[in-house]
Amino acid sequence: VILILGRVARRPPAGPRGRRGEPLGPLDGVPIGVKDDIDVQGYLEAAGAIVLGKNAMHELGGDTNGCNPRWGTPTNWHNKSYYPGGSSSGAGSALGAGIVPIAIGTDAGGSIRIPSSFNSVYGLKPSHHRACTMNSSVCVVGPLAATVADLTIAYRVMSRPNPDDPVQGLYTPSVPPSLSSPSSSSSSQKKKIIAIDEAWWSRADPSVASVCRRAVDHFASQGYTTVPIRIPYLREIQLMHSAACVTEMQDLARHRHPDPEQWQSLINHANKITMSVGTQTPAGDYMKYAQLRDLLMKHMAFLFEENPGMLVVTPTTPMPGWPRHPGDDAYGVSDANKTIANMSYVYIANVSGCPAVTAPVGYIDPVQGEGKIPVGLMAMAEWGCEEQLLDWARDAETYLLKEGRQRPEGWVDVIEVTKNGGLEAKKNI
């Protein structure tokens, strides 16, 4: 799940404040994990976070299940016969197990939101350029967390102005962390609107749709207004997004190899199949991609203008988890149809650049193994409206209070282990 760094933990330099016993920042002493495709040094360490190590990921971020035959596949602690989701698989697994309260992932096609959903935690895909910028037309960096409070703090630290990114400076700064009630921000006073595209919802497995419908009914009982919308060309935009992702991934792999002609020697068999598709994308398709993206962004802008404060709500994934099968760990998984299906709701935020957040809203019975499968509900907001999404996520957090979020069997209270058992107790984890 976590590749530990050279030292026990990467503790940021204390500096004068630390030597005086003052906190370094809002994350002082908080252990976090960082996805393997992100540089460690940055804002979170400056805020006092302790980076335990690099989280495992699906090779090249090339799928949404998290299978990695080279380095090992992280565990879904809710049901070990299911994948943890990907590509931020180690982040989702570590949070699900209770190892860290916050992890940092990347998201080009649900790679933050899908593992968050599969592991019953919260995940935020920020607006493009809101946080650290990736070398991609669809990929962003964002937080996953065990609670909405932790997600909020991590996001607000990550979204601080970056002098090296002039686009980020165009956004209005997010509300800083406050000791007052987190729901007292101005965004919570806006009209609360949930937008539903019924045709889009029809893609979900009935078991997933049922859980998510009950959650939407709860929001309606709490003062949210539901309005119907339609987003055109969903199928075409999804295929365009998938082609763009594999094209960018193979290009990245090619330029990492000393001999670009031998780049496939670095990757596993399943990814060779997937990435080979990316080498066949003609320039004309990229032109169509740009045109479809422009059309989508104009349509989303129209919808947000017609319905100020609107949140587009869908299941996070249409699938009731992704079962593991014998041979996967040895050879990998190549099932493009299932991969694309798993991204049925997440890709619009990546193509349009809109922010989106996922929250756990229930559990369903598995088809194999022991332990129920978590289900997530996702909301997408207008560009730069992450604070509105965090308000919605806090409302979603109260939804499961009655029955409670289910801790998996492998969940560990790391603080209590450290207090009461020390190293002897850790041997039993």
Which residue ranges make up each domain of the chain? Answer: 25-172+190-426
Residue 161: per-residue pLDDT: 81
- Give backbone dihedrals phi and psi of 166, rounded to 5 degrees, phi first: -65, -25
Per the model's pLDDT, the better-predicted residue between 292 and 250 turns out to be 292
Given a cut of 90, whether residue 396 has pLDDT beyond it is yes
**Residues near 42 by beta carbon (within 8 Å), at least 6 away in sequence:** 132
pLDDT band at 175 (very low <50, low <70, confident <90, very high): low
Nearest to 116 by CA among 100, 93, 83, 99: 93
Given a cut of 80, whether residue 171 has pLDDT beyond it is no
Contact 144, 121 (CB under 8 A): yes
Lowest-confidence segment of 140-149, 302-311, 332-341, 417-426 by average pLDDT: 417-426
Tokens of 337: 């149809």
Q: Tell me the pTM.
A: 0.89
Given a cut of 80, whether residue 95 has pLDDT beyond it is yes
Residue 249: per-residue pLDDT: 82
pLDDT band at 353 (very low <50, low <70, confident <90, very high): very high
**Residues near 318 by beta carbon (within 8 Å), at least 6 away in sequence:** 203, 204, 205, 208, 341, 342, 344, 345
Given a cut of 60, whether residue 16 has pLDDT beyond it is no
* Alpha helices for 137-282 (secondary structure H): 148-158, 198-201, 206-221, 234-256, 269-278
pLDDT band at 417 (very low <50, low <70, confident <90, very high): confident
Averaged pLDDT score across all residues of the chain: 87
pLDDT band at 15 (very low <50, low <70, confident <90, very high): low
Per the model's pLDDT, the better-predicted residue between 90 and 260 turns out to be 90
Residue 421: per-residue pLDDT: 58
Percent with pLDDT over 70 in the chain: 88
CATH topology of domain 25-172+190-426: Amidase signature (AS) enzymes (3.90.1300)
Q: Give how far Cα 78 sits from Cα of 193, 407, 408, Å.
A: 32, 8, 5
Looking at residues 258-276, what average pLDDT do you find?
78
Nearest to 273 by CA among 246, 305, 293, 300: 246
